Amino acid sequence: MQKNNYMADLKYDLPAGLVVFLIALPLCLGIALASGAPLFSGLIAGIVGGIVIGSLSGSHTSVSGPAAGLTAVVLVSIQQLGAFETFLLAVVMAGLLQLILGFVKAGMIANYFPSNVIKGMLTGIGIIIILKQIPHALGYDKDAEGDFAFFEQSGSNTLLSIWDTLTQFIHPGATVVALISIGIMLVWEKPAIKSKVGFLPGALVAVVVSVLLNQLLVSMGEPWAIQQEHLVNIPVASDFAAFIGQFNMPDFGQLTNPKVYSIALTICIVASIETLLCLEAVDKIDPFLRTSDPNRELKAQGVGNIVSGLLGGLPVTSVIVRSSANVNANARSKASAIFHGFFLLICAALIPGILNMIPLAALAAVLILTGYKLAKISIFKNMWDNGKYQWWPFIITVAAVVFTDLLTGVGIGLVASAFAILRGNMRNAYFFHKEEYHQGDLIQIKLSQEVSFLNKAAIKMTLEDLPENSRVLIDASDSAYIDFDVLEDIREFARDKAAKKNIQVSLKGFRDRYKFWEADFVHSEPDSHTK
């Protein structure tokens, strides 16, 4: 198990926390606005997601906060309950339910999310981020930040909003700020620059430059100056008492209201599924190949939602936009998520006026580059190369996420993936056999004729439970079909994880098309008769 040296990682985690803070700030406010809740409730959720959940979570890279996938649920729930304080009680109840799910180990369902669906979800979100941020980058803010649904609350949709922006609402000052911000961040990625000032995040530099540029335009009275409606808009309290007054308590007098419990159950289910999806996705893009305990995450999310509800915050989940930005910012440990929560708290309390000088166009530029890294062309090419049973569920998930919403899109992708597996794996049942062994004996793991993604969890847990200093033979001689997800787990175990436990791995009978025969597999016996 990898040990974290938090002091050594500080030079990575502190700048990463700053970048995530810059991205989280408009999203917290935008999600609160889209949810019909007080703006400050979004900031509370972001603060709790960073400090509380970040401290309790076992994930090194996941970042929690208010989620776009819950905006419709929150909006309808507040209307049904009639008071925001009653809704806060439902958030607390949802957190208690999540705690129970964590203790009964319901997080195991995360092992059954196919990788083609997870990658499709990531890519779809990347495309959504780009499409949703184009209007903000050009100075059109009719749709609130944090609304990631294709059909917008205004009655328009994502594509129509882009068209309206391009034909009617381009703000020259905002456009220049966005382009300059993107340029700064791209230059900052150059090795020559990164080697000298890599400790300073390019996103932070872009935001500072955008603020200075806009303040210069304002002081000159230029028509290109960006006005307050296109800047960050944090509630500014007149004094400390007014600041504390922005926190709300749940109405515990509504404990006998049955609607509270039905809404709490809905929030619990949606938030838990979104968290587990995000956790699985961010583990896929973690450069250090670390895995997170989904049951521990559900417990952390449960505590987070209890605290958020008690303080007057929105429901909290693990969120992929902030988590992927955290990975891209080279975060090494969960300290970056905690830092981002403290930055939200300190800035909201002490310098909201300064934050309200930040152009949304600059933050849109940061998000656009984040979206691009999630939806690179190379990802589509790699999925195409993996074959039709990976490609079609992947591309269907991408399209469904873009044109519906996150959970609906993933649901459609799961159906597509199940259909693809059934088409490719209809004939034989799967069995998994491990020989009984004594210390020093060779452990033989023989795969059956047909191995589907439904067997992923059992194989993954078996590999992870193998004893240290052992010898293992994974035999696929009888296997006519091995699902891509299972191959990925075996490949990752043989290449990376086995060495950490001093396990000697031998592979036998894997077909050449599985591409297991690189130099890093010393003990391998390819089946040259089956291609």
Task: Dump pLDDT digits (tens) for 82-132.
Answer: 999 999 999 999 999 999 999 999 988 888 888 899 999 999 999 999 999
CA-based radius of gyration for the chain: 24
> Of the given ranges (141-155, 224-238, 494-508), which has the lowest mean pLDDT?
141-155
Name the phi and psi angles at 312, rounded to 5: 105, 25
Report whether pLDDT(481) > 70: yes
Report whether pLDDT(395) > 50: yes
Report whether pLDDT(372) > 80: yes
H and E: helices and strands count for the chain: 23, 9
CA-CA distance, 440 to 386, in Å (whole number)? 37
Q: Which residues are CB-neighbours of 51 under 8 A, at least 6 positions away?
A: 338, 341, 342, 345
- Collapsed DSSP state (helix, strand, coil) of residue 270: helix
- Encoding tokens for residue 202? 């390019």
- Summary mean pLDDT of the chain: 87
The predicted pLDDT at position 1 comes to: 39
CA-CA distance, 4 to 265, in Å (whole number)? 36
Query: Which of 426 and 102 is assigned the larger pLDDT?
Result: 102
- Encoding tokens for residue 233? 């808009």
Average pLDDT score over residue span 181-186: 95
The predicted pLDDT at position 149 comes to: 80
Could you tell me whether strands 504-508 and 524-525 are parallel, antiparallel, or unpaired per DSSP bridges? parallel
Report whether pLDDT(221) > 90: no
Report whether pLDDT(237) > 80: yes
In DSSP terms, which residues pair with 526 in a beta bridge? none
In DSSP terms, which residues pair with 318 in a beta bridge? 64
The predicted pLDDT at position 181 comes to: 95
Q: Which residues are CB-neighbours of 511 under 8 A, at least 6 positions away?
A: 476, 526, 527, 530, 531
Q: Return the beta strands (E) in 244-387 as ranges.
A: 316-318
Asked if 287 and 373 touch (Cβ cutoff 8 Å), the reply is no
| Most confident of the following: 335-339, 372-376, 407-411, 490-494 | 335-339
Report whether pLDDT(59) > 50: yes
| 144 backbone φψ class: left, alpha, beta (φ>0; ψ -120 to 50) | beta
The predicted pLDDT at position 470 comes to: 85
Q: Which of 118, 82, 397 is nearest to 90 (CA)?
A: 82
Query: Which of 137 and 423 is assigned the larger pLDDT?
Result: 137
- Encoding tokens for residue 176? 């220049």
The predicted pLDDT at position 406 comes to: 83
The predicted pLDDT at position 228 comes to: 87
Quote helix, strand, coil % in the chain, to nearest 5: 65, 5, 30
* Alpha helix segments (H runs only) across 329-359: 335-350, 352-355
Task: Tell me which long-range contacts 222-230 makes (C-beta under 8 A, separation of at least 24).
Answer: 222/173, 224/172, 224/173, 224/176, 225/173, 226/139, 226/171, 226/173, 226/174, 226/177, 226/359, 226/361, 228/356, 229/141, 230/139, 230/141, 230/171, 230/174, 230/359, 230/360, 230/361
Q: What is the 3-state secondary structure (H, E, C) of 309-324?
A: HHHCCCCEEECHHHHH
Is the Cα torsion angle 452, 327, 50, 132 positive or negative in sign? negative
The predicted pLDDT at position 238 comes to: 83
The predicted pLDDT at position 438 comes to: 56
Q: What b/e sequence results for 474-487 when a residue is b if at least 16 CB atoms lie within 10 Å of its CB, and e otherwise? A: bbbeebebbbbbbb
Instruction: Report the chain's terminal Cα–Cα distance, integer Å.
Output: 36
Report whether pLDDT(279) > 50: yes
CA-CA distance, 145 to 137, in Å (whole number)? 11
Query: Which of 481 and 373 is assigned the larger pLDDT?
Result: 373
The predicted pLDDT at position 467 comes to: 85
The predicted pLDDT at position 18 comes to: 94
Average pLDDT score over residue span 6-25: 89
Report whether pLDDT(270) > 70: yes
- Helices 258-284, 71-81: inter-axial angle, 10-degree rounding: 170
> Of the given ranges (115-119, 330-334, 377-381, 481-485), which has the lowest mean pLDDT?
481-485
Query: Which of 74 and 407 is assigned the larger pLDDT?
Result: 74
CA-CA distance, 18 to 63, in Å (whole number)? 13
Q: Note the pTM of the prediction, 2 decimals.
A: 0.79
Query: Which of 142 and 295 is assigned the larger pLDDT?
Result: 295
Asked if 70 and 42 touch (Cβ cutoff 8 Å), the reply is no
- DSSP summary character for residue 65: E
Report whether pLDDT(487) > 70: yes
- Collapsed DSSP state (helix, strand, coil) of residue 525: strand
**pLDDT tens digit string along 285-307?**
899 889 899 999 999 999 999 99
**pLDDT tens digit string along 189-207?**
888 887 787 778 889 999 9
